[in-house]
Structure 1
Amino acid sequence: MSDFLNKLSIKQQRVFNNLIKELPAFCEIVVTTKFVIEGRLRSTIIHYMRDWHLFFQYCVEHLEQFQGKKIKELTNEDINSITYDNLVYFEQWLLNDRNVVKSTQSRRRSAIKVLFNTLYKKNILKQDPTIQYDKLKINKQGIIALAPHEQVSLLDAIESGYGLTDKEKKSRTEFSIARDLALITLLLDTGLRIGEVYTLNRKNFNFDNMEISVLGKGAKVRTVVFSSDTKTSLLAYLKHPTRLSKQIIDKEAIFLNRDYDRLSIRGMQKIVKKYASAIGKYNITPHKLRSSAGLSLYEATGDIRVVAAQLGHEDISVTAKKYVDASKHKLHDAIRKRGSLR
């Protein structure tokens, strides 16, 4: 557990400590398993813990066998008494009393499945009631991604400051502009997850071969290729006089905050949101830039296996469904441009 805590930001440590004080003791086993053995992202584990806390809050307030107990007091015997019906009623409570949407319900169900499945594998649970879960049917929107000309506009906004507020313009420096340009170029070019970017160190980059060694989901390492545009923007940032002259707190970190420590995930999200809003794309997040990179790569190569390898998808069918469907408009455009057959 100490290894996990050492890798959290100060804010994450505060949230984690507050949650772990209130959660049952058996949750520590799940946290350790998911972080140390499976390499889940720290932010993901904290989201799990929040969902577990909500579930146990429901249990002590609504389940008869837990009346009068505090969440922290729940034992191995208590969690063994939870049935599939209890889980169903919990979801009904979410939908009726908490008014959650299907996507939130799905996320919380995943967190509960992780908890019960891990405890079952660790022989703390005699049986796992979540195996009876049916797959939730969610009406997903089509892929949201930036078109090529919008990607150019986004990068132009970073260099020029176009569309930013006066306050945002005043807070910019040559160094922060170089960093923001390198960060967003990297995201658009490689399709890296924001959590993967957060963990990047200098040693992960091979600028000669233009490759990055990335620690992805499930603690699996993959090689991601980047272009000359990313190489140029990254080297310009890494060799910036300000960076070379300052005392860097985390010397291995690629992206730095204003205190010259490792830039947080939240910090990266704010940077993307700032420039996306500047060009009128208010729904763009780092994950949408990942989608933009995947779609651009698929439309350039037509090879879904290449896209899956670059993005780190284990199941190629997931990649195919997402990006082949999204690029169907290209087929319609091609047919229209072809014109009449006669």
Structure 2
Amino acid sequence: MNDAAEQLLSEMVIAMYDLFPGVDSGKVQHSLSRVLSKYKIDVQEDYQYTSDLQEKIKLFITAKKVEGLSQATLDGYKIELGLFTKKIEKQVDHITSADIRIYLGSLEGLKMSTIGKKLNVLRTFFGFLAAEEVIRQDPTARLKPPKEEKRIGKSLNIEELEMLRESCETIRQRAFIEVLYATGCRLGEVYGLNKSDINYQDSSCRVIGKGNEERIVYFSPRTMYHLKKYLMNRLDDCEAMFITERRPYRRLSKRGIQDEIWKIAEFAGLRHKVSPHVLRHTFGTLTLNNGAELVAVQELLGHKSPETTLRYARITEERKREQHKKYLVI
């Protein structure tokens, strides 16, 4: 027997002795030796379990960075794919649809929408590798996204919005409320705003949204009044639209903006109802209920599809009755 056969014989004898401690190892070795002598045996490295995921993730992240994706998006990819590598220890070309199903199925306590987002990251990753011919087949191609639970987005009514406005104690807080509501911007978008982004002639502002895509949003006259009041009272030279109240003045963090909104909401008695994203929902709901076209609201919110906009906003019963009465042909 060659070296590979001798190695196999030795390992099999040890395994047999572990299973049956009283067995005569000499007889087992002799019997197995006669059987194995009939075969040609080679040692094959188990490349399938020598993971090259980290290497391929670096390739993917580099390519997406060149495409111009934001750092926040790249960091999100790194986190999600990093979690995946902790569960899957295979070469990417050996990863199957079953592996991914098992991985997603092991994620307990998560909402279907969260699992769907994780699958989307894997789709993007493996789709890229397949397109670049790094792998022969995309294991996510046959996977269907999980059915998401239908939820009505939370939003404030007009009375609650006015309660927030009246509960602001500083001009900066009032500017927060007005900008978040009037533009429907995401928290990260407001965080990234600079004073130079404002177009005072048409009361608009340039926003960099998801996917590093730029869009224009608009301020109401009320928003412009409170924003100008806040900016004119500042004595700093920081470029950020919203800054810290103490020196050294710098761009206010996302957490800082959230904390301010929560302070206002708590003072208004709406602590558990309000967040920056709730104000975004409120913008979508109230504008649609006031007769705005769905496509226009979709563009203002920076959504790629109208279905997303519909999830953000819900039409009130009063509005439905009004529309039924107005447009029903009788």
TM-score w.r.t. length of structure 1: 0.71
1:162-196 per-residue CA deviation (whole Å, 9 max, x = no partner) reads xxxxxxxxxxxxxxx22222122100111011121
Query: Counterparts of 2:66 and 2:220 in 1: how far apart (Å)?
Result: 33
Q: Which residue of 2 aligns with 1:30?
A: 60
Secondary structure of 2:240 counterpart: coil
Unaligned runs of 5+ in 2: 1-52
Shift in alpha-carbon separation, 1:116–1:218, aligned structure 2, 3 A: same
Shift in alpha-carbon separation, 1:283–1:133, aligned structure 2, 3 A: farther
Query: Counterparts of 1:156 and 1:44 in 2: how far apart (Å)?
Result: 36
Query: Counterparts of 1:106 and 1:317 in 2: how far apart (Å)?
Result: 16
Amino acid of the residue matched to residue 304 of structure 1? L
2:144 to 134, 143, 146: 134
Query: Counterparts of 2:204 and 2:76 in 1: how far apart (Å)?
Result: 31
Query: Counterparts of 2:196 and 2:315 in 1: how far apart (Å)?
Result: 36
Amino acid of the residue matched to residue 209 of structure 2? G
1:220-266 per-residue CA deviation (whole Å, 9 max, x = no partner) reads 222111111111111111111xx31x4x5xx3211112441111222
2:254 corresponds to 1:261 = no
2:308 corresponds to 1:329 = no
1:190-224 per-residue CA deviation (whole Å, 9 max, x = no partner) reads 10111211222222110121011222223222211
Q: Which residue of 2 aligns with 1:310?
A: 300
1:123-182 per-residue CA deviation (whole Å, 9 max, x = no partner) reads 4333221121212111122121011111111121123xxxxxxxxxxxxxxxxx222221
2:191 corresponds to 1:198 = yes
Amino acid of the residue matched to residue 200 of structure 1? L
Alignment of 1:168-317 (within 5 A): 177-240=170-233, 243-244=234-235, 246=236, 248=237, 251-257=238-244, 258=246, 259-278=248-267, 279-317=269-307
Structure 1 consecutive aligned stretches of length 4 or more whose deviation exceeds 6 Å: 335-338
Shift in alpha-carbon separation, 1:147–1:123, aligned structure 2, 3 A: same
Whose helix fraction is larger, Structure 1's or Structure 2's? 1
Of structures 1 and 2, the larger Rg is shown by 2
2:92 corresponds to 1:79 = yes
Shift in alpha-carbon separation, 1:33–1:191, aligned structure 2, 3 A: farther
Query: Counterparts of 1:286 and 1:125 in 2: how far apart (Å)?
Result: 42
2:150 corresponds to 1:145 = no
Shift in alpha-carbon separation, 1:270–1:57, aligned structure 2, 3 A: same
Q: Which residue of 2 aligns with 1:113?
A: 123
**Does the Cα contact within 8 Å between 2:73 and 2:211 map onto a contact in 1?**
no
Give the RMSD, CA atoms, in angstroms. Answer: 2.6
1:287-333 per-residue CA deviation (whole Å, 9 max, x = no partner) reads 2211111111112233212211211222234324643xx11422356
Secondary structure of 2:149 counterpart: coil
Secondary structure of 2:86 counterpart: helix
Query: Counterparts of 2:150 and 2:271 in 1: how far apart (Å)?
Result: 20
Q: Which residue of 1 aligns with 2:104?
A: 91
Query: Counterparts of 2:210 and 2:111 in 1: how far apart (Å)?
Result: 26
Query: Counterparts of 1:271 and 1:35 in 2: how far apart (Å)?
Result: 33
Secondary structure of 1:132 counterpart: coil
Query: Counterparts of 1:209 and 1:272 in 2: how far apart (Å)?
Result: 27
TM-score w.r.t. length of structure 2: 0.74
Query: Counterparts of 1:209 and 1:231 in 2: how far apart (Å)?
Result: 10
Query: Counterparts of 2:252 and 2:132 in 1: how far apart (Å)?
Result: 36
Shift in alpha-carbon separation, 1:276–1:48, aligned structure 2, 3 A: farther
Q: Which residue of 2 aligns with 1:7?
A: none
Secondary structure of 2:205 counterpart: strand
Equivalenced residue count is: 271
Amino acid of the residue matched to residue 96 of structure 2? T
Query: Counterparts of 1:158 and 1:186 in 2: how far apart (Å)?
Result: 13
